[in-house]
Structure 1
Amino acid sequence: MSGQNDFPTEFDFIIVGAGAAGCVLANRLSARSNLRVALLEAGQADNTPRIHVPAGTISLYKSRKYTYQYYSTPQKYLNNRRIHVPRGRMLGGSSSMNSMIYIRGARSDYDAWEAMGCTGWGYDAVLKYFMREEDNHLHQDPHFHGTGGELVVDQPRDPLGVSRLFIKAAEEVGLKENTDFNGAKLDGVGIYDVTQKDGKRLSAYRAFVAPVRSRPNLHVLTGCKVVSLVTDGKEVQGVTIERNGQFHVLRARQETILSAGAIGSPHLLMSSGIGNAHELLAAGVPVVADLPEVGRNLQDHVDGLVTIRSDSASTLGFSTASLSSVVPSPLQFLLKRKGWLTTNYVEAGGFASTRYAKDVPDIQFHFVPGYRSHRGRLFEWGHGFALHTCVLRPYSRGSIRLARDGSRNPDIDFNFLSDERDTHVLLEGVKLARSILRASPFDAIRGKEMAPTANIQTDDQLIEYLRASASTVFHPSGTCRMGADDTSVVTPDLKVRGLKGLRVADTSIMPTLVSGNTNAPTMMIGDKASDMILAEAV
């Protein structure tokens, strides 16, 4: 261990991960001035326009500086392809690189958690946290929305006209416009609400931590890799970190809280000897606690794409015709927060039901008002538009395990489409997406369908296309499952079973994946966790 430190080493609470949940926790816990709080982030500061300018998000997905460049194991039901899984590695975590869409999910998602024995996690109980955090600028229904919170919820500053065409096209095939996906109903299509302030990204860090970073009891440590938990028998006493090439032990007088995400939190548990005993021993890790379900129950929204070429410069894209829009865009953004740099690339979308749905929609659309490469490239010359379709409540379950190659890196196996029910829902969803893009509002700008292509028409052909191309919309969850049963990883108060001084608060605790983007629900989890923690704090 190193000698002299330039930071304290003993705290009341240590929070691992400065993402959506961790930042909310840091804000709420440090509001009590007698509590010393450490917020640990392996990445660096967020001081780059690539994060704060909405259109910069596209430059972050392959960044090694700001993003963990994970890849899944070969996916058996997706032609053994490895799926790219980028996760945020900077202050704000993935909330500093996502598409800023503000979606909470369906009421039934949370009521289902309550029915599973997760007391206090029903919709009516969690709604107050969504509302407490929110500063709604859209004058939406006050029964569902809050004002005065840290998180600004607004509309995109300058959505492209082609995004409005999507809404008209969806209406033509029977879907209705919805101006508030977080209100009384989820179904329908519309322009998505976003977490932006003054036209710039508002990450969890910028909303909850940056304004209070001067609190003397709040210590934010960047470039701080947590190597393992420090345990004494069945009690977690803190963490071992690596920072600037030196190792340090940080002690938590009260609790250590893992908010490292659905990949990071189970990975740290297993690296510290907490998980399936047989697998830990096989990976060469001494067993501290045998919790077989750590890393199990991995869920994500599997996604299929329909992408169309267009000759119209009204869509996002690079061409001679678009130069008149591209060249002035930096100045437009600086002066008026207008123009191309305001886009989050998925300005519109919505929720719909296939024939397999029951009471709530089972698919979600993300409409791209520009050409989405059928070859997986970030940029393609020319223009077009595209529609992503994902399965909202997948039945397939995957896992996070420690690699057995000696690296102890996380092996990520989504096991996508292992349950045929997901295949059927995705198939129907992509067929509906095709019908929307073939509707008359797009007639004037529609070109060739590049994927799946006109040659792919039958159900069997479409399924083969999906196995060759389906991916994720980056919503991993469920790997430290919350529950009342003895096999769950955490209890409904988010304490890790069989251990003292340790909780998990992030998407990993979700018993089942919510129906939509996970940023807002993750902040809610951090907020609710803070109340439970403060109720027991000394």
Structure 2
Amino acid sequence: MTEEYDYIVVGAGTAGCIVANQLSADPRNRVLVIEAGGNDRWIWFHVPVGYLFTIGNPRSDWMFRTVEEPGLNGRSLAYPRGKVIGGSSAINAMISMRGQSLDYDGWRQLGLAGWGWDDVLPVFKRLEDHFLGESELHGIGGGWRIEAPRVSWRILDAVKSAAIEMGVPESPDFNTGDNEGVGYFHVNQKLGRRWSSARGFLKPALSRPNLELRTNVIVDKVVFENRRASSIELMVGGQRISVRARREVVLSAGAIGSVQILHRSGVGPAQWLRAAGIPNLVDLPGVGRNLQDHLQQRAIYKVGHGRTLNEQYQSLFRRGMMGLDYLVRRRGPLTMAPSQLGIFTRSDRFQDRANIQFHVQPLSLDKFGEPLHPFPAITVSACNLRPTSRGEVKVVSPDPDAKPHIAPAYLSTDVDRKVASDAIRVTRRLMAQSALAPYRPEEYLPGPNVADDDASLAKAAGDIGTTIFHPVGTAKMGRSTDPMAVVDERLRVLMLEGLRVIDASVMPTITSGNTNTPTAMIALRGAEMIIADNRP
């Protein structure tokens, strides 16, 4: 017999955990949530600095790669995605960042009713349990715990002073709707432990008898009856199993995973699907297009004075003291998010609002998964908050185990290359401020030999640029008149029934900052829409 549920949620990542929690709150709803990864029974999913060990590890990361990118001078990048309940919220930077009010007002101006800043701010507040307490901007009692960082570094204080000296205003809270300024990021942690979506939303709900979680299960495709999503097909131990949905199927597998499932289900650009050997059910050209991501230029500066994590980690004694500090007080470097200090500013004087974001770290390394450098250094990464480049994701065969084709098309527009060049100039100006003179910063990457002209700086950006892990937009929310739209403003897949996409892939344009918290907001709003639309 085929099993039946009212709702099937595909993906227990940031969005899926929240959707499953909300739908199962009504005991009349029988809910199944399916995760292709495993459980989070590993210490490095919970100790904040564990991202150094989870990113680039096949136990916790899907190990995707991009194609060789022309804008990156022919380089292919690792493209980390969480392979565990909690999804990427179990391995990410833990930075709680909403973006800017004009991001969401821009969505509303695209004709997407209910997605303006005034509409989503109450959703953010319902989501939160914020250390600042309840106010006009923040909420308490939600499942999304947000706290202040529990470690400090004098050299980051100096960088903060340098930004203020350069004219960037100080900001105690980046989540007011205008994030221009310099300050310390708020983080998804509780008392020094990572706070993933699984910890905040899924695990508390698993005691409900009407919610079932299945892990290590690959969803192959959605099956339709008269263009209504009626069931999903799973791959379990090499066998194909069908599970029926009485009401709706919700895809929450992320900007990469949801596209893969839609394509294998026959939903997407007909030409792409034919090339992959998949029959086309619904020709939706936007499925897999409109990929947007924040490209960071990881400038590294050696410092001749001051403490950084690089040299601290080289010492076994100091490493032991870090561990002791964490065990006793839940403080110190083991509580570190990858970036502690944030700077939001403008790449040039013609920008109408902050368009670049700096992630400043008291450490440096060639790439995640590799050792820290043996010399004292800091990383000053700048990213373009609103890139104009658009990439694509698509399957290459019907095989659910096949890796997808991921082509972000970084720096493929003149505008993005100009912003990247100017961002390096801003970085150099920041590091030349007198507040940093005692540390004698020395440019290691991109290197003092890189000239200051646009062509040289754009090439340098391509040499040092890497993803900051924010893929969005591949199942774009839009009006039916938008040829690239995949879902409507209630996140229902166009031309089909009983199927929604609720995750980062529905963003029509990327938000101006880290994308995990906006994804959580989309999940809560989407779940509330499902509940409202299915009331008797």
TM-score by length of 1: 0.95
Distance 1:160 1:78 in 2: 32
> 1:236-261 deviations in whole A, cap 9, x for unaligned?
11211112333211111100000111
**Equivalent position to 1:142, from 132, 135, 146:** 135
1:140-219 maps to which residues of 2 (within 5 A)? 142-219=135-212
- What's the counterpart of residue 391 of structure 2? 398
Q: 1:372 aligns with which of 354, 365, 369?
A: 365
> Percent of aligned pairs with the same residue?
37
Q: Are residue 469 (structure 1) and residue 454 (structure 2) matched?
A: no
SS in 1 for 2:221: strand
Query: Which residue is equivalent to 1:524?
Result: 521
Q: Contact 1:191–1:348 (CA<8 Å) still a contact in 2?
A: yes
Structure 1 residues 268 and 174: alpha-carbon distance in aligned structure 2, compared to 1, 3 A threshold? same
Q: Which residue of 2 aligns with 1:493?
A: 490
- Contact (CA 8 Å) 2:445, 2:464: kept in 1 or not? no
Ranges in structure 2 where 5+ consecutive residues have no aligned partner? none
Which deviates the most, 407-416 or 344-353?
407-416
Aligned to 2:187, the other structure's residue is in SS state coil
The match for 2:343 among 350, 358, 361 is 350
Which stretch shows the higher mean deviation, 515-524 or 350-359?
A: 350-359
Question: Is the aligned partner of 1:50 residue 2:44?
Answer: yes
Q: How does 1:89-488 map to 2 (within 5 A)?
A: 89-139=83-133, 142-312=135-305, 314-318=307-311, 322-355=315-348, 358-373=351-366, 377-403=370-396, 409-459=403-453, 460-486=455-481, 487=483, 488=485
SS of equivalent to 2:71: coil
Deviates more, 1:429-438 or 1:497-506: 429-438
With 261-270 and 313-322 compared, the bigger mean Cα shift is at 313-322
Q: Is the 8 A contact 1:319 1:381 kept in 2?
A: no
Query: Is the 2:420–2:457 contact (alpha carbons within 8 Å) kept by the matching residues of 1?
Result: no
**1:468 maps to amino acid:** D
C-alpha distance in structure 1 between counterparts of 2:221 and 2:137, whole Å: 40
Distance 1:198 1:91 in 2: 21
Structure 1 CA distance, aligned partners of 2:95 and 2:82? 16
Q: Aligned residue for 2:510? A: 513
Q: Does 1:38 align with 2:32?
A: yes
Per-residue deviation, 1:473: 0.5
Q: Deviations over 1:319-357 (max 9, x none)?
A: 688544322111211110122211113011121012265
Report if aligned partners of 2:487, 2:501 keep a CA contact under 8 Å in 1. Answer: yes
Secondary structure at 1:87 match in 2 = coil
| Shift in Å, 1:286 | 0.8
Structure 1 residue 182, shift from structure 2 partner: 0.4
Poorly superposed stretches of 4+, deviation over 4 Å: 319-324, 404-408
Quick one: structure 1 residues 352 and 12, their matched pair in 2 at CA, closer, same or farther if it must change by over 3 Å? same
1:28-59 CA distance string (max 9 Å, x none):
11001100111110000111111111111111
In structure 2, the CA distance between the partners of 1:70 and 1:524, relative to structure 1 (3 Å rule), is: same
Distance 1:19 1:247 in 2: 23
Q: What is the deviation of 1:445? A: 2.6
Runs (5+) with no aligned partner, structure 1: none
CA contact (8 A) 1:106 1:186 kept: yes
Tell me whether 1:503 sits opposite 2:497 in the alignment: no
* SS in structure 1 at match of 2:328: helix
SS of the residue corresponding to residue 50 of structure 1 reads helix
Once the two structures are TM-superposed, the CA of residue 308 in structure 1 deviates from its matched residue by 1.2
Give the Cα–Cα distance (whole angstroms) in 1 for the partners of residues 122 and 68 of structure 2.
41
> 1:294, 1:279 → 2: CA distance?
10
How many angstroms does 1:426 deviate by?
1.5
Q: Note the C-alpha offset of 1:84.
A: 1.2
Distance in 2 (CA, whole Å) between partners of 1:278 and 1:345 is 41
Aligned residue pairs: how many?
A: 531
**In structure 2, what residue type is equivalent to 1:210?**
K
Task: Note the C-alpha offset of 1:403.
Answer: 2.0
> How far apart are the structure 1 equivalents of 2:9 and 2:368?
39
1:378 offset after TM fit, Å?
4.2
Question: In the TM superposition, what is the alpha-carbon distance from 1:271 to its structure 2 partner?
Answer: 1.1
Taking only aligned residues, the RMSD between alpha carbons, in angstroms, comes to 1.9
For residues 360 and 439 of structure 1, the distance between their equivalents in structure 2, rounded to whole angstroms, comes to 23
CA distance in 1, matches of 2:177, 2:10: 35
Aligned mates of 1:160, 1:323 — CA distance in 2: 20
